[in-house]
Amino acid sequence: MLIPCLACESRFGPDEYFSACSDYNRGLDLVSWTCPHCGNRDDLRVLPDELGFGYPHRGRFDVHARVRVPGLRRHRGDLRLDISLDRASWHVSTPLRPVGVPVRLTAGGGSARRRRPAL
Ligand SMILES: [Zn+2]
């Protein structure tokens, strides 16, 4: 099973491919992947039996392309994603935020204060 880079179409074995994953984003459920060959950076979601490629959009991750990887499994942890395929497994950590930078939790967005419509 070889997994292609969608930019340069190089193909990688699972170990080389998943070792290039980084920065698990639990909120959007995606990992970053940097192609060892061309340096292209993609966001992808690890799904059962497939990888989903797409773009973060309005606080969600929209999957636009899927690559079948039969046997692919994932387990979501608090600060990491465990990926397994056949008997191998990889761990992708969530990057720790720099100290002193507050985590912004924005739900829904918009101001709490409503403005009256202008008459
Ligand atoms: Zn590439």
Average pLDDT per consecutive 10 residues, the chain (119 residues; last block may be shorter): 94 97 94 97 96 91 94 95 97 80 54 59
Ligand 1 center to 81 CA (angstroms): 23
pTM recorded for the entire structure: 0.77
Ligand 1 center to 73 CA (angstroms): 23
Task: Determine what percent of the chain falls in helix, strand and coil, rounding each to the nearest 5.
Answer: 5, 45, 50
Q: Which pLDDT score is estimated for 96?
A: 81
Ligand 1 center to 63 CA (angstroms): 19
Ligand 1 center to 31 CA (angstroms): 16
Ligand 1 center to 79 CA (angstroms): 27
Q: Which pLDDT score is estimated for 116?
A: 64
Residues with CB under 5 A from ligand 1 (ion): 5, 7-8, 35, 37-38, 40
What residues form DSSP beta bridges with 31? 44
Q: Is the dihedral of CA 105, 107, 109, 114 positive or negative?
A: negative
